[in-house]
Amino acid sequence: MPAENHSPTHCRGGEHLHHFGSKDCIRYRPVTHQPKGGMCAACRHALRDCSSLPFSSMPVLARDDQTVIVRCTQFQRRK
């Protein structure tokens, strides 16, 4: 008897259900570009939700097979 898969296959985007990974499923898009974590920790905007920033257009610092680390252009050092 095969094991049942209870993993959800849809996410809620607004009023509609979308397949995980689709362009409309914004909560579950794979992360490919992310800011350097140390910069976030030292930034005056550290508590702000920066998820809508255009990380894919920011300068690249490092990359591996799945993730690109970028320098956030909105970074402002805490005083």
The tens-digit pLDDT sequence of the chain (79 residues) is 555 555 555 554 444 555 555 555 555 456 688 899 899 999 999 999 998 999 989 999 998 877 899 999 999 999 8
Residue 52 falls inside a structural domain: yes
Q: Are 18 and 27 in contact (CB under 8 A)?
A: no
First-to-last alpha carbon distance for the chain, in angstroms, is 61
- Report the domain count for the chain: 1
Residue 23, in any domain of the structure = no
The 8-class DSSP code of residue 46 comes to T
Whether 12 is in a domain gets the answer no
The answer as to whether 13 is a domain residue is no
Domain of 44 in residue numbering reads as: 30-79
Q: Indicate left, alpha or beta for 20 from its phi (over 0: left) and psi (-120 to 50: alpha).
A: beta
Residue 76 lies in a domain: yes
Q: Report yes or no on 70 lying in a domain.
A: yes
Q: Has residue 1 been placed in a domain?
A: no
